Amino acid sequence: MKQYQYDIIHKQTEKVNHVRATAASPEIARAQIVLMYGSSHIVCELFSDINPPHQVLGEIDCSDFPESDKPWLFAQSELIEAV
């Protein structure tokens, strides 16, 4: 298994993003990415990077997290880290 990174281009805005998939081959990785993003993005034919499997576990989008909930967030993270 390897982690393949493909560039994808948004069909309307033409913004370029990168998507990674761990698979046995680049063809399987690309096909899975097409299944996920192909309706809104063009998936480039060739991968742009290759890495050991599961190098990137995931991404968390915290952009809309409210400032008012920061005390709760920090308290919860401290509880988890204390274990």
Banded pLDDT at 77 (limits 50, 70, 90): very high
Which three-class secondary structure state does DSSP give residue 61? coil
Distance from C-alpha of 40 to C-alpha of 11, rounded to nearest angstrom: 6
Domain for residue 28, yes or no?
Answer: yes
CB environment 65-83: b (16+ within 10 A), e (fewer): eeeeeeeeeeeeeeeeeee
| Mean pLDDT of all residues in 28-34 | 95
Domain for residue 15, yes or no?
Answer: yes
Domain for residue 69, yes or no?
Answer: no
pLDDT (0 to 100) of residue 72: 96
Domain for residue 26, yes or no?
Answer: yes
Domain for residue 38, yes or no?
Answer: yes
Model pLDDT for residues 53-75, shown as the tens digit of each residue: 887 777 777 889 999 999 999 99
Domain for residue 7, yes or no?
Answer: yes
Instruction: Note the pTM of the prediction, 2 decimals.
Output: 0.75
Q: Which of 16, 58, 9, 62 is nearest to 38 (CA)?
A: 9
Q: Which domain holds residue 48?
A: 1-57
Residue 17 predicted with pLDDT over 80: yes
Domain for residue 62, yes or no?
Answer: no
